[in-house]
Structure 1
């Protein structure tokens, strides 16, 4: 009985680890109109379950015209949904002020069962966030 429970435990952990390996990496999105604005989103998901986020905006008519925003914290994945959270005491400082707690993103990848030549870029599609401008953003894996 112990052997069966141990085997089931290892299979479950192996499946979770394999799913986490698919999501680890750098994700980016750049939106620009050379005459009026430039927006850059960069997200790094580390294998140890931590993340770093950088948002850069340069809007010619904005006040201020140029700004940088940073965030960091931890992430987990379950059923292709990445959940972000931040520890108020260790993840926030003068530079890292974005709170990603309650942020969720769906991992979209090409299924191994899909044998077509259709190219599907790996991306994180943000579904919910307390950061209002993060909702409905798609960051593509580099």
Structure 2
């Protein structure tokens, strides 16, 4: 009886851990601009089911040098509890196009607690806590 109960608990934990990682996968975005659209900053992060990710940052600044800028990053992600850790292999993931190194980057997955029955709206997001990319710290990207 104890063996059956132990096996069932183990299976339940495995199913829960797989379901949790699948909820992280998807597209996340953030767009910042002024009212006259002279300055635009857009971020797009895609977390794939297979544990890989792609990131694109676009900025358009009137009077900036250069006026438009695109930056890309890719690599692998993993989750533990509500923290997502990003890594980039310098040989495989970084090249002329993909220049952003996401090593040492960590983000928190924020969503409404399922036990919260209030009408409060909490938009699902990733909040970057740490990153080797200085401008990524404290950036929030929202799930589409």
Scaled by the length of structure 2, the TM-score of the pair is: 0.91
Residues 69-98 of structure 1 show CA distances to partners (whole Å, capped at 9, x for unaligned) of 000001011110010001111111110110
Aligned residue in 2 for 1:58: 60
For the 8 Å contact 1:36–1:61, the answer to whether it is kept is: no
Residue 117 of structure 1 aligns to a residue whose secondary structure is coil
Shift of 1:61: 2.0
Q: Unpaired runs of 5+ in structure 2?
A: none
Unaligned runs of 5+ in 1: none
Q: 2:39 aligns with which of 16, 37, 40?
A: 37
In structure 2, relative to structure 1, the CA distance for the partners of 1:77 and 1:61 (3 Å cut) is same
Whole-angstrom CA distance in 2 between matches of 1:131 and 1:48:
24
Change (3 A) 1:19 1:64: same
What is residue 99 of structure 1 aligned with on the other side? 101
Aligned to 1:71, the other structure's residue is in SS state strand
- In structure 2, the partner of 1:77 is 79
Tell me what 2:114 maps to: 112
How far does residue 13 in structure 1 lie from its aligned partner after superposition?
Answer: 2.2
1:17 alignment partner in structure 2: 18
Confirm or deny: 8 A CA contact 1:71 1:98 kept in the other structure: yes
Q: Between Structure 1 and Structure 2, how many residues are aligned?
A: 142
User: Aligned partners of 1:113, 1:121: CA distance in 2, in Å?
Assistant: 16
